[in-house]
Amino acid sequence: EVQLVESGGGLVQPGGSLRLSCAASGFTFSSYSMNWVRQAPGKGLEWVSYISSSSSTIYYADSVKGRFTISRDNAKNSLYLQMNSLRDEDTAVYYCARGRPSYAFDIWGQGTMVTVSS
């Protein structure tokens, strides 16, 4: 079964850091580009970041540029999101999703909740 499973969410104070992980299974992870998409409580979807299959191409939304870092380890079938200088407005469920920027996102994880609050 094709599956993405996020982990690493939790409660963090403003200015703090958190590292999210996304474990892939059921497909050849190293052949696919990946994304992080977030959803604030009761709100819509917001694309956060993209990484190509070889990590050679990376994009960020302006709202997280300079604070978040996307990476992957194809040997471990894992995607990561390092989040620094967290703000209240980063509070959201974070999903990993499979797909290139010009493609649809065909597989989504179940999400991990990040709460930024003092």
Partner 1 sequence: EIVLTQSPDFQSVTPKEKVTITCRASQSIGSSLHWYQQKPDQSPKLLIKYASQSISGVPSRFSGSGSGTDFTLTINSLEAEDAATYYCHQSSSLPITFGQGTRLEIK
- Residues of this chain that interact with partner 1 (CB under 8 A) are 35, 44-47, 50, 59, 61-62, 95, 97, 99-106, 108-111
Q: Which of 36, 6, 38, 11 is nearest to 23 (CA)?
A: 6
Report the distance separating Cα 1 and Cα 109, nearest Å: 13
CB of 13 to partner 1, least distance (A): 26
User: Residue 44 or 66: which CB sits closer to partner 1?
Assistant: 44
Nearest residue (CB) to partner 1, 102 versus 118: 102
Q: Distance from first CA to last CA of the chain, Å, rounded?
A: 39
Q: How many helices (H) and strands (E) does the chain have?
A: 0, 11
In angstroms, what is the minimal distance from the CB of 109 to partner 1? 6
**Shortest Å distance, C-beta 15 to partner 1:** 25
